[in-house]
Amino acid sequence: MSEKHYENDIVISTRVRIARNIKGFCFPSKLTHQEALNINHIVIDALTKDESLGFRYLSMEGLTDLKRQALVEQHIISPDLGKNTLGGVIISRTGDVSVMINEEDHIRIQAIKPGFGLKETYIEADKIDDLLQSSADCAYSEKYGFITSCLTNLGTGLRAGVMLHLPALVLNSKLGVISAMASKYALAVRGIYGEGSLVLGDLFQISNQTSLGQTEEQLVENLHAVCREIIKKERAERDLLMIHKEDEIKDKVMRAYAILTHAHMISAEEALKLLSLLRMGADMHLIDEVPSEILNRLMINIQPATLALKNASVSNDKSLELYRAKYIKQELENK
């Protein structure tokens, strides 16, 4: 197994976000409607110059609640932007780069890549930042760096994050080790949708807490090093499970597969829990039926709004649970 594949057994995705504000404007919470529109025009004009990026703009005001929630579930926008009708998002053709407008800051550049690729993801986000700053005058202080709405983003304005799948650490009650490591290196441990969100499917986001006093490259390198250690600890806990509880773990994995391929109704929370077990089983070669890539995709696509957009007949929680069970079964059987 190559080192990269080894890491991607644990790492779901990598994200780099860069916060910027346009000089001369209040922060988004104090903008008038016209000022918010002006910010939109400045950012759109700056980023649509490079036609190769294929950026398209979506206004939050023009989207249904369901579509906004789906964008949150797909990690394209934040929950806060989804509630802001004065905001918008620019999305690249491939969908792996997005620029949120008038969220907590005027601009939140975001690049997301599958697997463990912090350096590559940072380079992608930095290209968009350079493109933006070539046309827009961003608020900057010689003493504090880039000026941001939240004090923890002062400095570089960069937040790098890695989505890790840590079921063995959860099963062995060892998450305290991760929290201690994160605290030591000024990192945050959050749920699937970032700050204030719940931990679902044993998925954790590890990211830097502050961006002042270090360069962007240093922040990325520090996070990379800590995540490598967390990956090693998760792998060690999986090895211990195989030594001491192989039959019990295999039973959990096979039961998860049986339920997911035979359930008539299933909630998102239960499905994520079972998919987490199944992904761990696939990575540990306890079950060969399902590639991890399909399970990664399912973890996003079974979320309520994303799933509802796939089937117009879904109208309530019961019909959603019925369709989710059918959808999961089809995906697992047609792999």
- Same domain? For 263 and 216 the reply is no
- Same domain? For 272 and 123 the reply is no
290 inside domain: yes
Angle between helices 175-184 and 216-244 (to 10 degrees): 160
Q: How far apart are CA 257 and CA 262, in angstroms?
A: 9
Asked if 87 and 76 count as a contact pair (C-beta separation under 8 A), the reply is no
| Final residue belonging to a domain, choices 190, 208, 236 | 236
pLDDT at 4: 47
pLDDT reading at 286 higher than 80: yes
- Same domain? For 12 and 71 the reply is yes
| Final residue belonging to a domain, choices 236, 255, 277 | 236
Asked if 222 and 156 count as a contact pair (C-beta separation under 8 A), the reply is no
- Under the banding of pLDDT at 50, 70 and 90, the label for residue 194 is low
- Same domain? For 199 and 275 the reply is no
Nearest to 135 by CA among 28, 30, 41: 41
Q: How far apart are CA 103 and CA 84, in angstroms?
A: 7
pLDDT in tens, 212-242: 889 999 999 999 999 999 999 999 999 999 9
91 inside domain: yes
Q: Number of structural domains, the chain?
A: 2
94 inside domain: yes
Domain with 286 in it: 246-333
The three-point CA angle 221-226-229 to 5° equals 130
Nearest to 109 by CA among 124, 94, 93: 124
| Final residue belonging to a domain, choices 193, 215, 236 | 236
Other CB atoms within a 10 A radius of the CB of residue 53 amount to: 18
Contacts of residue 119, defined as CB under 8 A and 6 or more positions apart, other chains included, come to 220, 224
Provide the CATH number for the domain around residue 12.
Answer: 3.30.590.10
The helix (H) or strand (E) run that includes residue 17 is: strand 11-20
- Same domain? For 262 and 302 the reply is yes
Q: What percent of the chain has pLDDT over 70?
A: 95
- Same domain? For 269 and 227 the reply is no
- What burial letters (b/e) apply to 93-102, b meaning 16+ CB within 10 Å? eeebbbbbbb
- Under the banding of pLDDT at 50, 70 and 90, the label for residue 201 is confident
Q: How far apart are CA 315 and CA 312, in angstroms?
A: 8
The helix (H) or strand (E) run that includes residue 146 is: strand 145-146
Tokens of 58: 């979506």
pLDDT reading at 6 higher than 70: no
- Same domain? For 225 and 261 the reply is no
pLDDT reading at 177 higher than 90: no
241 inside domain: no
- Same domain? For 213 and 267 the reply is no
71 inside domain: yes
Average pLDDT over residues 58-70: 95
Among 52-66, 186-200, 291-305, the minimum mean pLDDT is found in: 186-200
